Every structure is written in C-alpha cells, then in structure tokens.
Amino acid sequence: MQLHHRHDWKLTPTEAIALQHQLRTEVVSDRPIDLDGVQLVAGVDVSVKNEQSQAAIVVVTFPGFLPVETVLAQRPTPFPYVPGLLSFREGPVLEEAFEKLKSEPDVFLFDGMGIAHPRRIGIASHMGLWLQRPTIGCGKTLLCGRYRDLAEEKGSAAPLIDRKETIGVALRTRTAKNPMFISPGHLADIPTAAELVLRCSPKYRLPEPIRLAHNAAGQFSP
C-alpha cells in the first residue's frame, strides 16, 4: 500500500510534541464516513515483547468479518513509553507493515486514540495522515476528557468532553462491560466513527478487526 511519508521517526520527546502541534492542523475530524460504501475494514495493533515491537494489520470484509489479509512487521522498539506519544513508539513498525499491505481497506480501526488526545493527534490521527484513508481511534482506557454515566446496555454512548470541546464518545460495545473511547482519526467524524465501531462489535468489547489484529500482533515467533 502506498503511504504518504511525512517525516522521520528519530525524534526526542520534545521534538515529537512540537511535530504533533504542527501536524494536528492537517487532521480532518468532521468528514462523515460513507458507511454504505464500506466493504473492507482493517484492524491495527502493535504488541511489544522484550523491546521488540510487532505490528499486525488484519483486513476483513464488512459486515461479514471474513479474513482477507493479515500482515506483520517486527523491529526493535525505538522510543520510550510516554503517554501521548504512542505514535513515535509504534509508527516505525506500522509504516513497515502498511507498506506490505496489498489490500485497500476503506477504513482503519486503531487500538489507540484519534483526536481524543491532549494535542488532538493520537496514533489513529497521526497515521491517518500517512494513509490518507479514513481512520478511527478505539481506546480501551481514557487518555483525556470526561463523560457522563452510561446505561449498561450495549450501544449506550456519551460525549467525551475535554476543555469544552467534544473529542469523541464513550461507547458501550458490550452490555455491562467498560466502554470504549471512540474518536475520529482522520477523514472521519464522531457520529459515523461510533456507528461503524458499534457495527464492528457483534460479540466482544473490542471491535472484531482490532480483536483479530491484537491476537495476531501478540504471536511472536520463537
């Protein structure tokens, strides 16, 4: 798959934050996804073991979730764990994995944040600028913002608010389980991002494409 190379990854944390401020102005987070046109969805995840990072991208049909393609990439973890700078830890290995991809997914779901991020450029937004395809951030834990209490039923949602700005939704993808924190990455908006994630979560808390990518990324070769 062709990527739009934006920058090198060898940056200090201070330089990385400055780059985020620069790139955030390019993120498009108010464009509805054409849900009727979605046929292929990719789940994206990275696992780290013994300072080795392994990226997995799993492409499935939508709405059937039949496997179409799985690609893996592995390389030494290049950047320390710093909250808010996940892109710089996972970006290099994701770049390698995306370049192997032969499919052309309509939407990418990331295990990580989109604009629900202190500087409004989580990994789904950041890598969306490289992909120039619709991307959605699907966070398992809250990075920033607040939301009101949710009903226990699947599909319950509440706006995620940070500094008086709506940056996503807390979305219950499975009854009586903790919500996911959904936000547009790039070339998406909040309502259609949340709707697609819900449609991609027929059984588990994790959307099916991300669940498959998570399983694949965690299977390190001996």
pLDDT digits (tens, 9 = 90+) for 56-99: 999 999 999 999 999 999 999 989 999 999 999 999 999 999 99
The model's confidence at residue 106, banded by pLDDT at 50, 70 and 90, is very high
Q: Provide, rounded to the nearest whole percent, the portion of the chain with pLDDT above 70.
A: 100
What b/e sequence results for 141-177 when a residue is b if at least 16 CB atoms lie within 10 Å of its CB, and e otherwise? eebbbebeebeeeeebbbebebeeeebbbbbbbbeee
Instruction: State the pLDDT at residue 221.
Output: 80
Q: pLDDT digit string (tens) for 1-53?
A: 999 999 999 999 999 999 999 999 999 999 999 999 999 999 999 999 999 99
What is the pLDDT averaged over residues 180-197?
98
The model's confidence at residue 173, banded by pLDDT at 50, 70 and 90, is very high
* Exposure of 115 in the CB half-sphere (CA atoms within 13 A): 28
189 among annotated binding-site residues: no
- Asked which of 144-148, 193-197, 217-221 is least confident by mean pLDDT, the reply is 217-221
The model's confidence at residue 218, banded by pLDDT at 50, 70 and 90, is very high
What is the pLDDT averaged over residues 138-142?
97
The angle subtended at Cα 211 by Cα 101 and Cα 175, nearest 5°, is 145
Given a cut of 80, whether residue 222 has pLDDT beyond it is no
Secondary element (H or E) of residue 16:
helix 13-23
Residue pair 55/94 in contact by the 8 Å Cβ criterion: yes
**Beta-ladder partners of 181:** 139, 170
Question: How is the beta sheet containing 157-162 ordered, strand by strand?
Answer: 67-76, 52-61, 40-49, 107-110, 135-139, 180-186, 165-171, 157-162
Across the chain, what does the average pLDDT equal?
Answer: 97
Owner of token pair 């219950």: 172
Query: According to the CATH classification, is domain 38-143+150-217 in 3.30.2170.10?
Result: yes
pTM score of the predicted model: 0.97
The model's confidence at residue 193, banded by pLDDT at 50, 70 and 90, is very high
The 3-class secondary structure across 60-88, one letter per residue, is EECCCCCEEEEEEEEEECCCCCCCCCHHH
149 among annotated binding-site residues: no
